[in-house]
Amino acid sequence: MTSNMLTLEYYKTPGLWKTDVSIVGHLISTWFLCFIYTKSTRFNITSFFTMNNQKDWQIKNLEGIRERISWLHKQPDGVIFYQPSGIHFLTIKKVKFIIQLVLVEQVTLAMDWVQSILNLNDPIYLIFPYTQAMMLALLWNNQPKKIYIVGFGGGSIPQVLHHYFPEVIIECTEVDANILSIAQKFFGVELNERLRVKIQDGREYLEQKNSQDKYDIIMIDVAFGNGYMSYNLATQEFYQLCDRHLSKSGVIVVNTLKSNGFEPEYLKTINTVFPDIYICHTGSGNTIIIGTRSHPIDKEEIREQAKSIQDYHQFSFSLVDRSNDLKVMGELSIFNLENVPILQDNASPSNYFDSWLF
């Protein structure tokens, strides 16, 4: 416990070595976390120094994010920016130290779902429970090399992955260039060779990729506040496309909202492609669906994996708490999928698009 406290103290003062005791504490703590994370593999001195390099990079990265958003601390509470885009006004609202990206419908001027949120005092903290739940993909692939994310928004999840995994390449697609500009201006996002965003339909982007391009994790996060999710990103053919671009240990994570009433259809459709389905209800109206072809894992292994990953990365949120909400689809008797249709490109339900506008 003492060594962890010394480590925290050191990282709050980068470059400052106070005493020999602080050095020893730092080294012991770092070695211990490496040992926990690599307990199933042979620990070596290379991984020890790799972790130290990662910590140094993370300190500099966090300093850079804080610097890019520092001007927002001086802004007054309330709406500080808005811009028309499509059927919405893209609105930035500040509430004390919280920045929100809100979509406001132009026709009704109704306040839609908060799409992205940022804590100015802790910019790599995932505030939304559903964003924390999407990180559970790491239980199946805890050292991803390449990730694809459909739906960039304010960039919360990509930015956190970019921070904690300094070697991973993250490719993202976003259909609205205005949202990308907002993410860079108000959420501290800085694109580079490891964090890339293409303004393009997410399915079209994947269709144009070489068949050899594989991802360890694919995340689909495109639902509007009213629950609507683009149909071409919800069909069996789309998930088959995703499957072809996943690595052998790859996993897909889909954020859905109960409010549009198609949760059973999403589950059944994804299950036709991925035999093992896990579900996380966040209590905020979001249902996170995780699909994989890897070996099934039980509750005990889920918790152990989550704790191991949490201990290693020291996320500012609790991955263990989120893992406690994870269920195997077969455990949920509330879903009777026998008469539920499979969503297919050429056979959309007649009422699917009812929630598109309002």
Residue 193 has pLDDT above 90, yes or no: yes
For the record, the structure tokens of 228 come out as 């609507």
Digit-coded pLDDT (tens) for 30-73: 444 454 454 443 444 444 446 678 889 999 999 999 999 999 99
Helical packing angle, 236-244 and 263-271, nearest 10°: 40
Secondary structure (DSSP) of 83-119: EEETTEEEEEEEETTEEEEEEEETTT--EEEEEEEEE
> Would you say residue 110 has pLDDT above 50?
yes
65-106 per-position pLDDT tens digit? 999 999 999 999 999 999 999 888 999 999 999 999 998 888
The string of DSSP letters for 200-258 reads S-HHHHHHTS-TT--EEEEEE----TTS---GGGSSHHHHHHHHHTEEEEEEEEEEEEG
Residue 223 pLDDT: 82
Which residues are CB-contacts of 46 (< 8 A; sequence separation ≥ 6)?
none
pLDDT at 107: 81
For the stretch 233-257, pLDDT in tens is: 999 999 999 999 999 999 999 999 8
Domains and CATH numbers, the chain: 2-70 (no CATH), 72-119 (no CATH), 129-355 (3.40.50.150)
Between the CA of residue 339 and those of 98, 265, 322, 323, 342, what are the distances in Å?
Answer: 44, 10, 31, 30, 10
Q: What is the pLDDT of residue 22?
A: 41
Indicate if the pLDDT at residue 28 is higher than 50.
Answer: no
What is the model's pLDDT at position 232? Answer: 95
Contact yes or no for 196/171 (Cβ under 8 A): yes
Q: List the Cα angle 225/343/274 in 5-degree steps.
A: 95
CA pair distance 329, 271, nearest whole angstrom: 9
Query: Residue 51: what pLDDT?
Result: 66
pLDDT digits 0-9 by tens, 347-356: 888 888 775 5
Q: Which residues pair with 134 in a beta bridge?
A: none
Question: Largest Cα–Cα distance in the chain?
Answer: 70
What average pLDDT is seen over the chain? 85
Determine the pLDDT at residue 258: 81
Indicate whether 266 pLDDT > 50: yes
Number of H helices, E strands in the chain: 11, 12
pLDDT at 2 over 50: no
Q: What is the pLDDT of residue 18?
A: 34
Helix (H) or strand (E) holding 302: helix 299-313
Q: Which residues contact 175 (CB under 8 A, 6 or more apart)?
A: 199, 200, 201, 202
